[in-house]
C-alpha cells in the first residue's frame, strides 16, 4: 500500500510541476506578445508621423511620385522619407518640395549607392 501512496504522491507532485511549467510558459508568451504589440504600435506611430510630415513637405505631385516609389521599393521610399524629414529639420530644403526637387534628392540618394565598386581577386 505504501507503494501506491508513494506513486500517488509522486504523480501529484509531477502534475503540480507540470502545471507550474505551463503557467510560466503562458506568462512568458503573454509578455512577449505584449512587447510585440507595443513595438508594433510604436512603428505605426512613427509611420503616421512620417506620412503627416510628407503632407506638409511635399506637393501633391511629389507625394504621387513617392507613392509610386513605395510600390516598387518600400525600403527606398522609407529612406527617402527619412532623408526629406532630415533635410527639412536642417532647413536645407524649401517647403513645399515639388516633383523636380524630389527627383534631384532621389538622384543624389541613388548616386551615393552607385559609387560602390566590387573588386575581384
| Domain-wise residue ranges, the chain | 2-113
pLDDT by residue for the chain (121 residues), tens digit each? 567 788 889 999 999 999 999 999 999 999 999 999 999 999 999 989 988 989 999 999 999 999 999 999 999 999 999 999 999 999 888 889 999 999 988 888 876 555 556 667 7
Q: Which class does domain 2-113 fall in? A: mainly alpha
Q: What is the rounded distance in angstroms from the CA atom of residue 32 to the CA atom of residue 37?
A: 9
pTM attached to this predicted model:
0.64
Of 120, 90, 116, 117, nearest to 105 by C-alpha is 90
Amino acid at each position: 500500500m505504501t507503494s501506491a501512496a508513494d506513486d500517488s504522491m509522486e504523480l501529484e507532485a509531477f502534475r503540480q510541476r507540470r502545471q507550474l511549467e505551463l503557467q510560466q510558459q503562458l506568462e512568458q508568451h503573454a509578455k512577449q506578445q505584449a512587447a510585440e504589440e507595443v513595438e508594433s504600435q510604436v512603428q505605426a506611430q512613427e509611420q503616421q508621423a512620417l506620412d503627416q510630415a510628407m503632407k506638409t513637405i511635399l506637393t501633391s505631385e511629389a507625394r504621387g511620385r513617392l507613392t509610386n516609389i513605395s510600390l516598387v521599393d518600400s525600403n527606398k521610399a522609407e529612406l527617402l522619407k527619412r532623408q526629406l524629414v532630415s533635410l527639412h529639420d536642417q532647413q536645407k530644403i524649401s517647403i513645399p518640395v515639388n516633383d523636380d526637387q524630389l527627383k534631384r534628392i532621389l538622384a543624389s540618394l541613388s548616386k551615393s549607392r552607385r559609387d560602390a565598386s566590387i573588386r575581384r581577386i
